[in-house]
Structure 1
Amino acid sequence: MADSVAISDAEWLVMNVVWDDQPVEAQQVVDRLSAANDWSPATIKTMLHRLVKKQALTFERDGKRYLYRAAARRGDCVRRASRSFLDRVFGGSAAPALMHLVKNSKLTDDEVAELRRLLDKKSAD
């Protein structure tokens, strides 16, 4: 598995298709993303190629088809993107980000309970 890589907003959409359905054919990615995002097949195939160059994806040829698999783990990419977001928007500090998200998000009772559990566990550590 590759280390986490920097993924653009558009590339996240491609990676999510691959993470959810791998191995996935290029045409399946095109079918899932072209109409919803008004992207041409060429644009999506360019993103697939770019993600292979970044070593976020691998591919194998199966006859005329290209099958893509993730080389980067979703969790690693999420951590990198989260850290980048925290650094850019909140000066690297998680507490203001969490407070902002809690204040400005609609949370279910279950989500509030899970947040309480996590905070209690963090306090105990």
Structure 2
Amino acid sequence: MEKLFEGEYRVMEVLWDSGPVSSTQLVSLCGERLDWNKSTTYTVLRRLKNKGLVRHQNTVVTPLVTREEVIRAQGEELVRRAGGLPLFMTAFLSGRKLTAQEAEELKELIDEKMGEG
């Protein structure tokens, strides 16, 4: 999946929250939520369509990827750039204290993933 720039991600959030919408509705929603004009919305929409992330057919705009798919792809790219998951986690958590709940949730996730092997 190609990298999503901030504006592209924000339009995807509008689409994920609203579901398939007409392009007119999308312009209105982006105006309300992002304070964008029609031209900006259509420019970003064209980029998303060219990346294969949305379908714009018969004036209806439909997201073709889920929020989870995008977050996973972006996360994998960050981990790759960091040089692996341990290095990423070290950098991500440096200077930050985990709450007891966060630590427990991470332990559970690690235990779950270790069992999938």
Question: Fold conserved (TM > 0.5)?
Answer: yes
- Residues 57/119 of structure 1: CA separation in 2 closer, same or farther (3 Å cut): same
TM-score (norm 2): 0.75
Whether 1:48 aligns to 2:45 is: yes
Structure 1 residue 38, shift from structure 2 partner: 4.4
Q: Which residue of 2 aligns with 1:102?
A: 93
Secondary structure of residue in 2 paired with 1:6: coil
| Distance verdict in 2 for CA 1:120–1:14, change over 3 Å | same
Q: How is 1:28-107 mapped onto 2 (pairs within 5 angstroms)?
A: 28-34=25-31, 37-61=34-58, 66-88=59-81, 90-91=82-83, 93-105=84-96, 107=98
Measured after TM superposition, the shift of residue 17 of structure 1 is: 1.2
Question: Residues 24 and 105 from structure 1, CA distance in 2 versus in 1: closer, same or farther, beyond 3 angstroms?
Answer: farther
Percent identity between the two aligned chains: 27
Structure 2 stretches lacking a partner, 5+ long? none
Query: How far has the Cα of 1:86 moved from its partner?
Result: 2.4
- TM, length-normalised to structure 1: 0.71
1:18 equivalent among 15, 18, 30? 15
Long gaps (5+) in structure 1:
none
Partner Cα separation in structure 2 for residue 31 and residue 105 of structure 1: 39
**Aligned mates of 1:119, 1:39 — CA distance in 2:** 41
Q: Structure 2: which amino acid aligns with 1:72?
A: V
- The count of aligned residue pairs is 116
CA RMSD of aligned residues (A): 2.6
**Greater relative contact order (Cα < 8 A, sep 6+):** 1
